[in-house]
């Protein structure tokens, strides 16, 4: 497996040197802190580690190193989602922009915004004063990306929100009378279970006014071998990404997870009766052990072979997804898929809800 310390140090140094530059005329920056809803108090971690099977919230993958490893995953030959979604945006971003007209763009879980640049290019053709608000829980990559985008797009106004989706959507300023388009790429929706997905779509419904837009990229069902290869790459980058969640927890909550006592395990679970079609990533405990998170005053005992589930990545069936979106007054206007139907891009429009916001 490739050494990962180079990503850590490089990302960390860059995030630190960028701190001073956040004072930029076209940048508004908000770090959403402990006073916000869903504060990072560790309660979700305690809850996840106290249930059977044990789970961890996947947003803890994303510290500086986790974000850098995710960028490497995007370039792996086995990891088809990024390049497939990129291909869709290369072909259809201009059509998306033509369908919505000029909009304020808000992206959830933007990371490096690598594919979003295609959307920014398309909307820049319509608007000399484009406004883009990236939201990400991983503040380091958000800062690096914000400064890079301000260089690349000389008239772009950028509003960066470092925090969770819930924190950011609760604080999102409406600074323009233009329509808003929320963007959610990378099939990140697939990381949410059914209940989380419903809560998330409630947030989207609330953050949009009738007539506004939601651009969603999702991974679709396909043969298990293709899916499992994508999460078990030959170079071991996904394994390093999975294990890094423990390093992050150790640092953030004074934990003593020993990474050498865990191994990466990813597999596809398809269960039609239970409505499941998902990759699951786990960390398997290689021995019986007790781990503590001192800052949370919490200990967890693991048996040999027991696993912590760190992520689900649901693989969608378009009619089922459409129904779920429509239950939240979000109707797909147009759906594009690649020639193999591996990935889909949906441009959706917020509908009005009779008795609530219909005229
Ligand atoms: C799977 S990556 C996708 C990145 C990018 N959108 C793409 O398509 O390549 C998920 C991104 O969402 C961010 N993220 C994960 N959970 C989050 C949360 N609860 N709130 C805000 N950002 C989150 C991560 O830091 C990461 O940048």
Alpha-carbon gap, residue 327 to 322, rounded angstroms: 9
Q: Of all atoms in ligand 1, which is nearest to the CA of residue 185?
A: 8
Q: Of all atoms in ligand 1, which is nearest to the CA of residue 107?
A: 6
Domain covering 5-223+317-350: architecture:
3-Layer(aba) Sandwich (3.40)
- As separate numbers, helices (DSSP H) first and strands (DSSP E) second, the chain gives 11, 14
Cα-to-centroid distance, 17 and ligand 1 (Å): 23
At 35 the pLDDT is 54
Q: Could you tell me the strand order of the sheet in which 307-314 lies?
A: 54-55, 307-314, 276-285, 262-271
Tokens of 292: 């503590």
At 8 the pLDDT is 43
Tokens of 338: 């690649």
* CA-closest residue to ligand 1 atom 16: 59
Q: Of all atoms in ligand 1, which is nearest to the CA of residue 165?
A: 20
Q: Of all atoms in ligand 1, which is nearest to the CA of residue 110?
A: 6
At 356 the pLDDT is 81
* CA-closest residue to ligand 1 atom 1: 188
- Other beta carbons within 10 angstroms of residue 303's beta carbon come to 10
At 297 the pLDDT is 96
SS3 percent helix, strand, coil of the chain, rounded to 5, is 40, 25, 30
Cα-to-centroid distance, 106 and ligand 1 (Å): 13
Task: Report how far apart, in Å, the C-alpha atoms of 281 and of each of 54, 244, 276, 292 are.
Answer: 12, 13, 14, 22
To test ligand 1's pocket by mutation, which of 74, 136, 164, 166 has the most ligand atoms within 8 angstroms of CB? 136
Instruction: Measure the CA angle with vertex 7, ends 116 and 306; round to 5°.
Output: 95
* CA-closest residue to ligand 1 atom 3: 186
Cα-to-centroid distance, 354 and ligand 1 (Å): 33
pLDDT in tens, the chain (359 residues): 333 333 344 554 555 555 556 778 999 999 987 555 555 789 999 999 999 999 999 999 999 999 999 999 999 999 999 999 999 999 999 999 999 999 999 999 999 999 999 999 999 999 999 999 999 999 999 999 999 999 999 999 999 999 999 999 988 878 788 999 999 999 999 999 999 999 999 999 999 999 999 999 999 999 999 999 999 999 999 999 999 999 999 999 999 999 999 999 999 999 999 999 999 999 999 999 999 999 999 999 999 999 999 999 999 999 999 999 999 999 999 999 999 999 999 999 999 988 888 87
* CA-closest residue to ligand 1 atom 9: 186
In the DSSP assignment, the letter for residue 235 is: T
Q: Ligand 1: residues within 6 Å at CB?
A: 59, 62, 67, 70, 74, 82, 109-111, 115, 135-138, 164-165, 185-186, 188
Cα-to-centroid distance, 261 and ligand 1 (Å): 27
Pairing of strands 179-184, 213-219: parallel
At 4 the pLDDT is 36
Is this model's pTM higher than 0.85 or not?
Answer: yes
């Amino acid at each position: 497996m490739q050494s990962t310390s180079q990503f850590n140090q490089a990302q960390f140094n860059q995030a630190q040197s960028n701190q001073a530059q956040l004072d930029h005329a076209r940048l508004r920056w908000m770090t959403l802190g402990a006073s916000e809803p869903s504060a990072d108090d560790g309660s979700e971690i305690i809850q996840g580690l106290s249930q059977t099977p044990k789970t961890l919230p996947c947003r803890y993958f994303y510290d500086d190193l986790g974000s850098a490893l995710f960028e490497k995953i995007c370039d792996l030959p086995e990891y088809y989602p990024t390049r497939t979604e990129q291909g869709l945006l290369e072909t259809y971003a201009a059509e998306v922009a033509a369908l919505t007209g000029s909009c304020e763009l808000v992206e959830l879980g933007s990371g490096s915004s690598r594919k979003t640049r295609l959307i920014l290019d398309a909307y820049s053709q319509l608007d000399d004063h484009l406004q883009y608000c990236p939201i990400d829980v991983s503040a380091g990559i958000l800062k690096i990306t914000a400064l890079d985008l301000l260089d690349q797009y000389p008239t772009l106004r950028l509003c960066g929100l470092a925090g969770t989706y819930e924190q950011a959507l609760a604080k999102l300023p409406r600074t323009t009378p233009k329509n808003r388009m929320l963007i959610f790429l990378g099939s990140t929706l697939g990381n949410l279970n059914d209940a989380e997905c419903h809560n998330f779509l409630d947030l989207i419904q609330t953050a949009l006014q009738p007539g506004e837009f939601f651009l969603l990229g999702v991974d679709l069902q396909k043969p298990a071998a293709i899916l499992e290869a994508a999460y078990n790459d030959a170079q071991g980058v996904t394994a390093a990404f999975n294990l890094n969640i423990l390093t992050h927890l150790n640092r953030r909550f004074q934990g003593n997870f020993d990474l050498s006592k865990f191994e990466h395990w990813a597999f596809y679970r398809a269960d039609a009766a239970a409505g499941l079609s998902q990759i699951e990533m786990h960390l398997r405990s290689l021995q019986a052990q007790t781990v503590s998170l001192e800052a949370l005053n919490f200990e967890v005992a693991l048996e040999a072979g027991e696993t912590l589930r760190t992520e689900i990545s649901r693989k969608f069936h378009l009619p089922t997804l459409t129904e779920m979106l429509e239950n939240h007054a979000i109707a797909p206007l147009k759906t594009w898929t690649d020639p193999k139907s591996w990935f889909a891009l949906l441009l959706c429009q917020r509908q009005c809800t009779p008795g609530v916001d219909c005229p």
